């Protein structure tokens, strides 16, 4: 009986945190209250991660709608300038929405303070990887290969993130996580196995390449950002990220691809501008949730839950845009989701904190 | 005078200067620096502490109940937290 009592007490504690390490100055009730607080915090992080996937799926579909409101301007413009201009407008609007949000919450000073520190500057580097490189690649991928395929390839970014977090954050990855990730890969292959009819295959594969670049950029972004957010507020970090990305695209990338023509077009059409503002709001909410989830529940779990945007994107497309729901899309999306879930369950069993050198 | 640190960074730094500290104690200590700001709320401080615990840079091994039966968690900095501070604390700030 005494043994069972001890066992029950043991189960109350977090795994990996032995009683020997605990200096218990309060009573058992206090310990249980703390455990509940931490468990609720983690659960909230899981829902935040899922919410980030949901809103990113919504952002993708809304962005597609907003893009369709831009007048036809020739094939070359459509392939490069429009997606990159869209990435710029998306991130800039998101950055402005977040600036309003942080200003209202009295965190405006935090933005400048954070930029003066090394972790804040690392968030800027993360912004360049996740913004111009990943978002640009993502939109070019959609433009060249079609959204169903590009969305799925880019959903593989948790694998990249897990690999990078293993290398740079020394996080351990156990077989079950690999199994979950492989399931996601298989899901992606199921979706992208047959190119859609009538698509130029050269353009199609170039699109897949850009989508892969997006996966690489986002994975690297998440690892760098989580490092930075150990010491700075995630709500401030994501603001820095969106503004850095939007500004970099506007100043250095758009002039090269002729993207400013698109931006000025958008600004002359109030309806289209409004649509992009709403898309940017969805993007701001999604990224805010993603950064918060990543820092609360860890890189791999946050990314895997965010990766469910593939499923949400397909659901939104089918429901709102009446897109055809093919068998491959259904099975593939399901596999991606099951894989992401496998990765997400009980992260403490999967990602033990290792020695960081 | 060194630049004001981002609040989370400063909280980590403060915890490194004491053996252990609760959210209320940290708030009391940092009031002269951040007290006039809108972000200076218990909820914000608790959230930063929970995040830093989740990121394995703070430990929360000491708990008690106050007179009103409310939970009080005392946080202390661990080796990983100390390592980050040592490496990334800006000039003008001392790690004690």
pLDDT digits (tens, 9 = 90+) for A192-217: 565 555 556 678 888 889 999 999 99
Least CA distance to B78: which residue of chain A?
A21
Tell me the pLDDT tens digit for each residue of B16-36: 999 999 999 999 999 999 999
Interface test with A, best of B16, B63, B68, B70 (most A CBs within 10 A): B63
A315: Cα separation from own chain's centroid = 18
> Is A341:A299 a contact under the CB 8 Å cutoff?
no
Listed by start position, the domains of chain B span 7-88
- Judged by a CB distance cut-off of 8 A, whether residue A232 touches chain B is yes
Radius of gyration of chain B (CA): 13
Predicted-complex ipTM score: 0.94
Give the architecture (CATH level 2) of B7-88.
Answer: Orthogonal Bundle (1.10)
Q: What is the pLDDT of residue A354?
A: 38
Domain ranges, residue A327? 75-350
Residue A265 in any domain: the answer is: yes
In the predicted model, what is the mean pLDDT of chain A?
81
Residue A8 in any domain: the answer is: no
Residue A14 in any domain: the answer is: no
What is the total count of domains within chain A?
A: 1
Radius of gyration of chain A (CA): 21
The pLDDT of residue A156 is above 90: no
Residue with token string 């709001």: A281
Rounded Cα–Cα distance for residues A142 and B90 (Å): 42
Rounded Cα–Cα distance for residues A45 and A36 (Å): 14
Residue A177 in any domain: the answer is: yes
- All residues at 6 or more sequence positions from A128 whose CB lies less than 8 Å from its CB, including other chains: A244, A245, A248
**Is B65's CB within 8 Å of A27's CB?**
yes
In angstroms, the Cα distances linking A159 to A126, A219, A220 are: 17, 8, 11
- Cβ-Cβ contacts under 8 Å, B63 against chain A: 24-26, 30-31, 33-34
Note which residues in 53-82 of chain B have CB less than 8 A from chain A.
53-57, 60-65, 71-74, 80
- Judged by a CB distance cut-off of 8 A, whether residue B4 touches chain A is yes
Tell me the pLDDT tens digit for each residue of A53-68: 999 989 988 988 898 8
Query: Of A239, A225, A221, which is closest to residue A296 (Cα–Cα)?
Result: A225
Inter-chain Cβ pairs, chain A and chain B, closer than 8 A: 106
Local confidence band at A348 (pLDDT 50, 70, 90 cut-offs) = low
In angstroms, the Cα distances linking A171 to A16, A167, A176, A217 are: 15, 7, 14, 19
A165: Cα separation from own chain's centroid = 15
CB neighbourhood size of B82 (10 A): 14
């Amino acid at each position: 009986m005494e043994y069972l009592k001890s066992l029950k007490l043991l189960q109350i504690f977090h795994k990996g945190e032995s009683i020997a390490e605990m200096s218990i100055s309060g009573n058992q009730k206090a310990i249980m209250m703390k455990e509940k607080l931490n468990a609720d915090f983690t659960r909230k992080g899981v829902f935040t991660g899922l919410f980030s996937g949901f809103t990113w799926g919504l952002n993708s579909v809304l962005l597609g709608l907003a893009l369709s409101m831009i007048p036809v301007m020739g094939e070359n413009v459509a392939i490069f300038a429009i997606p990159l201009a869209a990435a710029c407008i998306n991130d800039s609007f998101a950055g402005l929405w977040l600036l309003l949000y942080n200003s209202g919450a009295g965190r405006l000073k935090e933005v400048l303070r954070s930029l003066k520190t090394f972790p804040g500057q690392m968030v800027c580097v993360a912004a360049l990887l996740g913004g111009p490189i990943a978002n640009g690649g993502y939109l070019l991928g959609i433009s060249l290969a079609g959204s169903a395929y590009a969305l799925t390839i880019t959903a593989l970014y948790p694998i990249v993130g897990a690999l990078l977090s293993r290398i740079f954050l020394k996080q351990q990855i156990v077989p079950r996580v690999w199994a979950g990730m492989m399931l996601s890969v298989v899901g992606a292959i199921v979706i992208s196995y047959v190119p859609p009819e009538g698509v130029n295959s050269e353009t199609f594969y170039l699109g897949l390449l850009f989508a892969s670049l997006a996966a690489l950029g986002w994975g690297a972004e998440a690892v760098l950002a989580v490092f930075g957010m150990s010491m700075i507020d995630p709500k401030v970090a994501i603001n820095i990220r969106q503004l850095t990305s939007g500004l970099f695209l506007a100043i250095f990338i758009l002039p090269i691809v002729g993207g400013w023509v698109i931006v000025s077009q958008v600004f002359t059409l109030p309806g289209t501008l409004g649509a992009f503002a709403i898309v940017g709001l969805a993007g701001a909410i999604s990224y805010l949730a993603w950064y918060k989830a990543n820092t609360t529940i860890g890189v791999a779990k946050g990314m895997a839950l965010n990766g469910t945007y593939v499923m949400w994107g397909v659901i939104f497309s089918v429901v709102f845009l009446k897109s055809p729901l093919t068998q491959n899309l259904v099975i593939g999306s399901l596999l991606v989701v099951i894989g992401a879930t496998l990765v997400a369950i009980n992260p403490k069993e999967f990602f033990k904190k290792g020695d960081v050198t | 005078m060194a630049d004001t640190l981002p609040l989370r960074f400063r909280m980590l730094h403060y915890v490194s200067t004491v053996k252990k500290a609760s959210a209320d104690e940290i708030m009391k200590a940092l009031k002269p620096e951040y007290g006039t700001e809108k972000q200076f709320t218990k909820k914000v401080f608790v959230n930063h502490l929970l995040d830093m615990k989740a990121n394995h840079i703070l430990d929360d091994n000491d708990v008690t109940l106050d007179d009103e039966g409310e939970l009080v968690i005392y946080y202390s900095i661990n080796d990983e937290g100390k390592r980050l501070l040592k490496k990334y604390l800006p000039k003008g700030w001392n790690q004690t």
